């Protein structure tokens, strides 16, 4: 009988869910901050139509999506390069 505590195996996918979770939280926080700043800016400039409430979060969301695509494509290229060399993380 083996009574030793087994530790979970840490492979290359063990931290992927944490990285994706952090990107999701970052997207939600960006949208929330954009909405708040847009709402306060609309009040400050006394705009009757909620223009900045719509515009600012949209611009920030597009920026964040472009940033995420670049980050994921960079990681994919790095993983493809390692696979071609015969190295596995």
User: Percentage of the chain with pLDDT > 90?
Assistant: 49
- What does the pLDDT look like over 13-44, one tens digit per residue? 667 888 889 999 999 999 999 999 999 999 99
Tokens of residue 87, six digits? 């190295």
Q: Let me know: does 23 contact 61? Beta carbons within 8 Å.
A: no
Output the pTM of the full model. Answer: 0.67
Domains of the chain, by residue range, sit at: 52-83
Q: Let me know: does 38 contact 47? Beta carbons within 8 Å.
A: no
């Amino acid at each position: 009988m083996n009574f030793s505590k087994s530790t979970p195996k840490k492979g290359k996918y063990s931290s992927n869910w944490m990285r994706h979770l952090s990107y999701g939280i970052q997207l939600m926080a960006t949208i929330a901050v954009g909405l708040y700043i847009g709402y306060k800016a609309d009040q400050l400039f006394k705009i009757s139509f909620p223009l900045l409430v719509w515009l600012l979060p949209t611009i920030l969301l597009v920026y964040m999506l472009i940033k995420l695509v670049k980050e994921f494509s960079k990681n994919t290229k790095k993983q493809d390069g390692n696979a071609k060399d015969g190295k596995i993380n």
